[in-house]
Structure 1
Amino acid sequence: MKYPDNIIEIGSFLPDYMGFIFWEKSARYFDGVIPNLPKSIKKVGVFVNERTEVILAKTNKHDLQAIQLHGHESVAFCQELKNKIDPKIDIIKVFSVDDSFDFEELKPFETVCDYFLFDTKGKLPGGNGTTFNWKVLEKYPSSKPFFLSGGIGIDEMGAINEISKTNLPLYAIDVNSKFEIEPGLKNIQLCKDALQYVSTDNKIKK
């Protein structure tokens, strides 16, 4: 999210999370003031290979409830951040996935983050607008809940609902580029439609 009026309007739909990108190279880079939002919405700060001090400062400034680490952050870095940050703030560690992704990479991160997020491996850390082969999730060896990201649009909602019926701990979906008019500006109707596609009786947050 990037534009105040758009943030407020999307916020009226009460998504569980709302993301703000603090990576300066992104077209969605957020450098403003987050408007007042309903307390049920968790504000997520997205960072890419950022220093701990910067993450802590942005977290305090914007009253973030979750941190999304979208770079090559190490286990040691995640542990340092976990030690310094309010324990009520969720840490989401992102992994870029393709057909050859080795889920063994996740094991060392189990104790230093609250959630994993699986995005499509591409040229950019995120926002590549394409899905990866979700069949690889069948190899997921962990019980840690995860976010699913990468090129998710209305056409993918049916498949996501099917995944939610399996034993996979799919916790949330991360929608972005396919719901935009331009980077950081969400299409109101598409977002509203997406929330209607996510069944109210399943476990997926949005």
Structure 2
Amino acid sequence: MKHNVAEVATLLPDYLGFIFYDKSPRNFEGEIPKIPSDIKKVGVFVNEKVVRVIEKAATHKLNIIQLHGEESPEYCGELSDLTSNLEIWKVFSVGETFNYDLLKPYENVVDKFLFDTKGKNKGGNGITFNWQVLRQYPSKKPFILSGGIGLEEVDKIHTLMERELPLYAIDVNSKFEIGPGLKNSTELKQFIYEL
């Protein structure tokens, strides 16, 4: 896995994600290999104890904490207070519809929202949600788009980028996998080029 991380890092993505959730087949263990300092490291956690998130962030010199569980606004606020040098991204699962009122309590305690496809797993379901739902996005807070994004979605992403939405980044994962946690760097390179 370390070799694959280093290989993907040569593409100079803005972010690299590392999943710290032992129920995931992509759970990351060991040390993160040296990567260019311009690439920010995202630690993905699911309903983890605050103290453990802080430990992992320090050990792996993470830049961003991505919360992929049912973390409350209070939890996010506590984590934000204890890790003022880190960004916090809160994930919300989206289906055919989404209740944007769910975002309001998080507005002041997270830095960005991430919208992923609602599915049986906490992530990595490999399917996109109905992006038309984003037309009603009521916030000015930047968001990350995730969920089953691959080469086939490039044109749809370009269309979405034409809208006046605070779309901040695209999160890709399962559509580029050749094994749990291992990415096809050739296809990723093509995706970055086309995007």
Query: Do they fold alike, i.e. is TM over 0.5?
Result: yes
1:10-65 residue CA offsets vs partner (Å, 9 max, x unmatched): 10111000000000000000011000110100000000000000000000000000
Give, in whole Å, the separation in 1 of the partners of 2:136 and 2:169.
18
Shift of 1:88: 2.7
Correspondence for 1:83: 81
Correspondence for 1:37: 35
Correspondence for 2:14: 16
Amino acid at match of 2:73: V
Correspondence for 1:109: 106
Correspondence for 1:70: 68
Give, in whole Å, the separation in 1 of the partners of 2:136 and 2:163.
13
1:158-183 residue CA offsets vs partner (Å, 9 max, x unmatched): 11111111101110000000001011
Correspondence for 1:166: 163
Structure 2 residue ranges without an equivalent (≥5): none
Correspondence for 2:119: 122
Correspondence for 1:194: 191
Give, in whole Å, the separation in 2 of the partners of 1:183 and 1:24.
13
Amino acid at match of 1:186: K
Amino acid at match of 2:92: F
Amino acid at match of 1:83: D
Quick one: which of 147, 152, 155 aligns to 2:152? 155
The answer to whether 1:178 aligns with 2:179 is no
Classify the secondary structure of the residue corresponding to 2:38: coil
Correspondence for 1:138: 135
1:56-77 residue CA offsets vs partner (Å, 9 max, x unmatched): 0000000000000000000000
Give, in whole Å, the separation in 1 of the partners of 2:87 and 2:149.
23
Structure 1 residue ranges without an equivalent (≥5): 199-206
The answer to whether 1:27 aligns with 2:47 is no
Equivalent pairs counted in the alignment come to 195
Amino acid at match of 2:42: V
Return structure 1 stretches of 4+ with deviation > 4 angstroms. none
Shift of 1:4: 0.5
Give, in whole Å, the separation in 1 of the partners of 2:105 and 2:111.
13
Give, in whole Å, the separation in 2 of the partners of 1:178 and 1:5.
20
The answer to whether 1:49 aligns with 2:47 is yes
Shift of 1:100: 2.6
Correspondence for 1:203: none
Classify the secondary structure of the residue corresponding to 1:168: coil
